[in-house]
Chain A
């Protein structure tokens, strides 16, 4: 088990007039190699939750373990934990500061005290992972790039630390559909090729639900659903609608067909799946007619 949260509560501005409870009794286990999506409305505690994964925030109540290490314990090496759990914040392009992209991506490895050759190797590797050509980009200024490219540089600057787990907060926010698909497919590839545990956070479940293996739904500081995306969309559609998250459009379409009395499987995530499912049903229906 990689990360384990036990009864975690978190309160901002504790004992102050603006006290707000952001997390309530969170129990969560994340295993190595999982690909998890966390969805929920703005302000439901997603960002607060993931900041517990690398010890940026410490629980007001409860325990957080990263690879068996209690982050609350005195003398625990938080830098080591942060090296294992790479956290990519929302709009990561806003934290770029170096003169060249090489230096930007080399920032993390440099802080680890690696030799120059090793640093260069890691920068090459990280840029390759986000599909940026080393020779073309390395010596350019990060501020001369487009929004999507800047975000990929920011992602590379985390990947160069070689984290075992990658946590991304709204990686697709404010990107055009092309940039969004590009970054999501890169993340999927990173997960597949390097076996890195990935947690994706989003308020928008379209696309996210398609690529993750496990979905967590958060509402008002609690995890209300946890399971396979298909299962959640099939069985808990009403809950999703009740908390105001709604369903991906294809899934909603299937649910409406079912509501009209058609016998159909509603746990689909992509247009292709829906097409297959509908065609199967139509064929079966035709067969029945022949008999």
Chain B
């Protein structure tokens, strides 16, 4: 019954750490730099260096590594899947025969490289969301996007939608669990049967969930209007973002390391 509680991806863990106190814009840009680096690198040593950078970040953030790695669990399937696909689908020097399937050296290397890439990618983004409160995260996104306002990107609206979406993730999870329990009490069964039946069994969860979500959205819209919300025009911010020395240093450090690593490997 606790399937839903185990999702830590996108969760925020409040701590007083250097990473937590960084400007969200800096954190987003640094992560972006690392992610771009990840896609440029083609050798293991490069991943090792970037992985170490992220691990140092995790240690500084004081977030227990258990949380970071728990976020990996749902992605594990994708990682294994890509690894297997690469193992069997790449042409090259044959290492091992498995019936009509062949494992090649090139496939093994490519698969492992991509696994490393995905692995560090998730670690990086997990660190970002674990160490940045949703509010400051969307604040940062809004500021960063507002640079592109001149080509018509509605930065404030996007940020507001994200804030609302993030805000309601825990609510929806809680509600899903409640509805599930209620339907189980009424005789529903979510644990047995084939995949077709299991999908059909989701209807008693999904319909109430949607009905409630729509109703809640309606109420939220009315409440926002009652508070005179009318979009980003002329809206000021309670939290003023300020770039400090530590921020500049962090961004410089991650960018330089990433550029160096991508050039070298």
A interface with B by C-beta (< 8 Å) = 13, 17, 51, 54, 56-57, 79, 82-83, 86-89, 92, 94-97, 107-109, 111-112, 143, 157-158, 161
Is B5 in contact with A13, judged by CB distance below 8 angstroms? Answer: yes
**Interface residue tally of chain B, by bracket?**
20 to 34
CB distance from B219 to the nearest CB of A (A): 14
Give the contacting residue for A92; candidates B182, B187, B211; CB below 8 A: B182
Give the contacting residue for A86; candidates B5, B178, B185; CB below 8 A: B185
Complex Cα distance A51/B181, Å? 9
Complex Cα distance A111/B185, Å? 11
Is A161 in contact with B186, judged by CB distance below 8 angstroms? Answer: yes
Is A87 in contact with B1, judged by CB distance below 8 angstroms? Answer: no
Is A161 in contact with B183, judged by CB distance below 8 angstroms? Answer: no
Stretch at the interface among B103-111, B117-125, B201-209, B230-238: B201-209
B13 at the A/B interface (Cβ < 8 Å)? yes
Chain A residues positioned under 8 Å from B211 (CB to CB): 94, 97, 143
Is B187 in contact with A97, judged by CB distance below 8 angstroms? Answer: no
Q: Can you show 21 pairs from A to B with CB atoms below 8 A apart?
A: A56-B184, A57-B1, A79-B187, A82-B185, A83-B187, A86-B185, A87-B181, A89-B182, A92-B182, A95-B186, A97-B208, A107-B186, A107-B188, A108-B186, A108-B187, A109-B187, A111-B189, A112-B187, A158-B186, A161-B186, A161-B187
Is A89 in contact with B185, judged by CB distance below 8 angstroms? Answer: yes
Is A82 in contact with B187, judged by CB distance below 8 angstroms? Answer: yes
Chain A residues positioned under 8 Å from B203 (CB to CB): 97
Give the contacting residue for A95; candidates B5, B182, B187, B189; CB below 8 A: B182
Complex Cα distance A109/B187, Å? 8
Number of A-B contacts (CB under 8 A): 60
Closest to A99 in B: B207
Given contacts A79-B189, A82-B184, 8 further A-B pairs with CB under 8 A are: A56-B181, A79-B187, A82-B185, A82-B187, A87-B181, A95-B179, A97-B204, A97-B208
Complex Cα distance A143/B208, Å? 11
Is B187 in contact with A111, judged by CB distance below 8 angstroms? Answer: yes
CB distance from A113 to the nearest CB of B (A): 10
CB distance from A34 to the nearest CB of B (A): 20
Is B185 in contact with A56, judged by CB distance below 8 angstroms? Answer: yes
B212 at the A/B interface (Cβ < 8 Å)? yes
Complex Cα distance A79/B203, Å? 19
Chain A residues positioned under 8 Å from B182 (CB to CB): 87, 89, 92, 95
CB distance from A255 to the nearest CB of B (A): 38
Known: A13-B5, A89-B178. A97 touches B207 (CB 8 A): yes
